[in-house]
Chain A
Amino acid sequence: MADREWSTVDVEDIAALTAVYGGNPARWPADRRAAAVRALAADGEAHELVVNEARLDALLSLVAEPEISATRVDSVVAGALARLDAMAVPAAKAAPRRLDTFLPSPFDVVRAALSWLSVRAPQAGWLAGATAAGIMVGVMTMPAATLPMSETVAQTAGTVETAQADVTDMPSLLFTSYTVETHAR
């Protein structure tokens, strides 16, 4: 109904217009009002359509308009302001903290950590797992080393060597068994 030029309208247009907007030309969309009013003057059938819709408009206008007194408006606005005050109170209570209270106590740190973990337990689990795997891979890929033994053990004239498998790819590194060999000097 909105996507056309309204230079001229016929009875069908008037019927469609009044079926939506009623019989009062003041309520009709501006883009088609002038042409519709011209058609009314020239066409008795169109005029009859408008009169019929105006009767329904008259019935609708019998419904009383709600009375909005200034007192009521003030009450609503004051209520909204009071609720703003109520919302601001918790923030105002939290604001005047002393400087020393900004320093977290150990208890606060532990509580914050627990709270962080409770929210991010899955992420923390992944992080811990990834860290452990990294350490394990690091240990396993460490070059062969001769570890000096403690004094008491050294008396037995031995060394402990890690035996490194001759593999370089990650799956092999993870699944190849390692042995710790003790060589007597």
Chain B
Amino acid sequence: MDESVQPEPRIGAASAADIAASRTRSGALSASIPGGSLPEPGDDALLARIAQGDRQAFALLAARHAPKAMKLAQRILGNAADADEVVQEALLRVWTGAKNWIPDGRARFSTWLHRVVVNLCVDRRRRPAFAGLEGIPEPPDPTPSAVNVMARQQTAKLVSQALAELPERQRLAVTLCYYEERSAADAAQILSLSVSAVESLLARARRALRARLSGVVQDTGEV
């Protein structure tokens, strides 16, 4: 959450070059493709190159998918530093697992990556929690004009708390389908469940959230 506590990124020359190449279509990767200005290679093509040890392909694929994976991990973990570590670990699994990827068109790489991220997040949440700086609430803004903002923040905090109190699988289903805007079918693949099981989790989660937020309903009149 608080990015000010994040260490400054230490990017070595080679890594910076890899990332720079991954950021531009005219990078070495695209240039090495016949035709030069062709669209960026797809995930399957990049995975084939990663399987052969191509670091630039890895950097390109990682830069392409890391933002969404980080967002998902942070939503599940509620902590930027942990989310970054989880995604880094998931990216390493991409490197080691690329040779096993079968580009048959049935599975999407992003779905696979998100499944890895979700599993790593679940593992991490089961570890004893460390009460770091992330848990300390920010001091309230004392200016009177911020009253509405504060009320909104307070409501958001209650909603976050209600989400955090959901059983794990319900919370994962809500995160994937509501916040990540995944379809129930995608979420089912990521969670290794059937679509009807995901729909059941969503229904129970919404019921529980409505019950937990009933006080907010009465105060704000929103629900």
Give residues in A with beta carbon < 8 Å to B. Answer: 1-2, 19-22, 27, 29, 52-53, 55-60, 62-69, 71-85
Q: List 26 A-B contacts (CB under 8 A).
A: A2-B195, A19-B207, A20-B202, A21-B184, A27-B178, A27-B181, A52-B223, A55-B222, A55-B223, A56-B206, A57-B178, A62-B156, A66-B83, A68-B74, A73-B63, A73-B66, A75-B84, A76-B66, A76-B70, A76-B84, A79-B84, A79-B88, A81-B14, A82-B15, A84-B58, A85-B14
Q: Which of A29, A67, A81 has the most CB of B within 10 A?
A: A81
B residues in contact with A74, CB < 8 Å: 9, 11, 19, 63
Q: How would you classify the secondary structure of chain B's contact residues: helix, strand, loop or mixed?
A: helix
Asked whether, in the complex, the Cβ of A22 is within 8 Å of the Cβ of B88, the reply is no
A63 close to B16 (CB less than 8 A): no
How far apart are B91's CB and chain A's nearest CB, in angstroms?
4
What residues of A have a CB within 8 angstroms of the CB of B209 in the complex? 56, 59-60
Are the C-beta atoms of A72 and B206 separated by less than 8 Å? no
* Chain B interface residues (CB < 8 Å from chain A): 1, 3, 6-7, 9-12, 14-16, 18-19, 22, 55, 58-59, 62-63, 66-67, 70-71, 74-75, 80, 83-84, 87-88, 91-92, 95, 152, 155-156, 159-160, 163, 174, 177-179, 181, 183-184, 195-196, 199, 202-203, 206-207, 209-210, 213, 216-217, 222-223
Question: What residues of B have a CB within 8 angstroms of the CB of A82 in the complex?
Answer: 10, 12, 15
A-B Cβ contacts below 8 A, count: 144
Complex partner residue of A63 from B84, B163, B195, CB under 8 angstroms: B163
User: In angstroms, how far is the closest chain A Cβ from the Cβ of B215?
Assistant: 11
Q: Is the CB of A78 within 8 A of B223?
A: no
Contacts of B217 in A (CB 8 A): 55
Given A29-B183, A59-B216, A66-B83 in contact, is the A80-B88 Cβ separation under 8 Å? yes
B83: chain A residues at CB < 8 Å are 66
Contacts A68-B71, A77-B22, A78-B19 known; A84 to B207 CB distance under 8 Å?
A: no
- Beyond contacts A27-B178, A74-B9, A76-B70: 9 other A-B pairs, Cβ-Cβ < 8 A, are A19-B203, A56-B213, A59-B223, A60-B209, A63-B160, A66-B71, A72-B84, A78-B16, A80-B95
